[in-house]
Amino acid sequence: MVGAARPDTDADGVDGGVGKTALMVAAARAIETHRPDPLAQDAYAEHFVRAAAASAGWPVRPHQVPDGEANPLWGRFGRYFGLRTRVLDDYLLRSVRAGARQVVLLGAGLDSRAFRLDWPPGCVVFEVDRAGVLAFKHDVLDGLSAEPRTTRIPVPMDLRDDWVGALTDAGFDSAAPSVWLVEGLLFYLPEAAETYLIDTVDRLSTEGSALAYEVKIDMQVRAYRSNPLYASTKQQIGVDLPGLFDEGPRPDSVGALAGRGWSTVVHTPFDFSRQHGRGPVPEENDALAGNRWVFATRTGSSTGAAPA
């Protein structure tokens, strides 16, 4: 089991704690969608934000953002989430078009990729998250009469419980190539939990499988609290992100994967800002400087080829 992932603080599993960060990312995706030069588009994101009491008053359009692009949260941080969405969208689609057909979203949150991406025939998207989060998402999407663009299988299971058994019961086949996405989750997990998750993905992945995840290599939580980017999340929406991050040492997950037959590539977000011509750029005392996006492929197949 993943272990001590932080629980939500509200009964519905969406409006508090880590669940509130999912709403923050949804708001950022909504704003990105309506920018004149969007990196990613998510027509469902603003509906998630409006449906939750905690976020009903948050901006979902660029003109609603105080100070516009100069706003640390909805400007720079929002651009970060828009860039991350685009990069991971591209990675998943590249992976399944190369042959994998199972997509597993661990800690899926308010991810709407099953509904908005152009999946090739035969794909199955498994969404693993707490029952309350998936129920909230289902209610919003059902209210919009949204239809998934591929087979979507929700797996209502807390990652601290037997999510492997639940995933297998839902039809996941460990003998077939799969693509795993762990987006915005590992920051909150202690070392042992991250190690368990990576070990489990390795155990369930055959040759041709792919994995993308995000880590922070520098967890100086006290220093982050005074950073304008993280201070703005607390001031504007009441989310103390550094307070949610685990302060313990981080495992060498990249090294562990490389030692087990995975080909790994590690990027900074700024690599993709340069590639796409927009997104956050490095700053002095940058809170994003320690963020890394990891792309790994099981040796023996081109499936999930990592971004250059």
* Domain annotation covers residue 146: yes
Question: How are the residues of the chain apportioned to helix, strand and coil, as percentages rounded to the nearest 5?
Answer: 45, 15, 45
On whether the CB atoms of residues 128 and 94 are closer than 8 A, the answer is no
* Domain annotation covers residue 11: no
* Domain annotation covers residue 8: no
* Domain annotation covers residue 5: no
**Number of independent structural domains in the chain:** 1
Each residue of 149-188: b (16+ CB within 10 Å) or e?
A: ebbbbbbbbbbeeebbebbeebebeeeebbbbbbbbbbbb
- pLDDT tens digits for range 57-81: 999 999 999 999 999 999 999 999 9
- pLDDT tens digits for range 23-59: 999 999 999 999 999 999 999 999 999 999 999 999 9
* Domain annotation covers residue 306: no
Residue 90 has a CB neighbour count (10 Å cut-off) of 14
What does each C-alpha distance from 55 to 100, 156, 201, 238, 273 come to in angstroms? Answer: 36, 23, 33, 10, 28
CATH number for the domain spanning 82: value is 3.40.50.150
Each residue of 211-237: b (16+ CB within 10 Å) or e?
A: bbbbbbeebebeebeebebbbbbeebb
* Domain annotation covers residue 280: yes
58: domain range?
A: 17-298
Sheet holding 151-156, edge to edge: 151-156, 124-129, 102-106, 178-182, 210-216, 291-298, 262-267
On whether the CB atoms of residues 191 and 251 are closer than 8 A, the answer is yes
- pLDDT tens digits for range 136-169: 999 999 999 999 999 999 999 999 999 999 999 9
pLDDT of 64 reads 97
> Regarding beta strands 102-106 and 124-129, do their DSSP bridges make them parallel or antiparallel, or are they unpaired?
parallel
pLDDT of 2 reads 56
* Domain annotation covers residue 286: yes
Enclosing H/E stretch for 11: none
pLDDT of 299 reads 83
Write out the two tokens for 234.
């607390």
* Domain annotation covers residue 110: yes
Residue 61 has a CB neighbour count (10 Å cut-off) of 12
Give 246's pLDDT tier (boundaries 50, 70, 90): confident
